[in-house]
Each structure stands twice: as structure tokens, then as C-alpha cells.
Amino acid sequence: MAVAWFVGPTLGSLTATRVAQTVDVKPAAVVGLLFLTADIANLLMIPSPAWLWAVGIAAPLGGAALGYVLGRVKVDTIVD
């Protein structure tokens, strides 16, 4: 489950950045915040250990940042 909390936002942010064809961080941030909200809701509904809380909050933010960086590499070649 913790791996999916990283991979989902990474691929979602990558896709959002490429579809938007912009170097703006907003599409990736929206995807990251949606995943973060879903993760926190999941953690509130299902009792979880403290380490899973840490991963559940850090993974979507880190994944969204990585997806943005990967998506921007492709967008820079299209825009410029």
C-alpha cells in the first residue's frame, strides 16, 4: 500500500504536467493534494501505525514532486 501512495501521485503528476504542456507546477500540485487527501482519509478510517502515517503524508508529496520534474523534462522540449 505504501508503494502505491508514491507511484500513483508520481504517474498522475507526470501525466498532468504533460497534458497541461506547461512548466507551471499547479497541475502536479493538484494531483498531489488529491492523493494526500485520499491517503489521510484512509489513515483516519483504518487504524494505522505511526510509520504508516509518516509514509502516507510524505509519499504523495514526494511522488507529485518527482512526477512534475519528470513531466517538465518532456514539456521543456515541446514548449521551448
| 21: DSSP letter | T
Residue 33 CA neighbour count, 13 Å, CB half: 6
pLDDT of 80 higher than 80: no
CB atoms within 10 A of CB 66: 18
Cβ contact 61:3 at 8 Å: no
- The more confident residue out of 76 and 13 is 13
Domain spans, the chain? 4-79
Q: Please report, rounded to a whole number, the percentage of residues in the chain having pLDDT higher than 90.
A: 75
pLDDT of residue 23: 79
Q: What is the mean pLDDT of residues 59-63?
A: 95
Helix (H, G, I), strand (E, B) or coil at 29: helix
Element (H, E) at 55: helix 50-79
pTM for this entry: 0.83
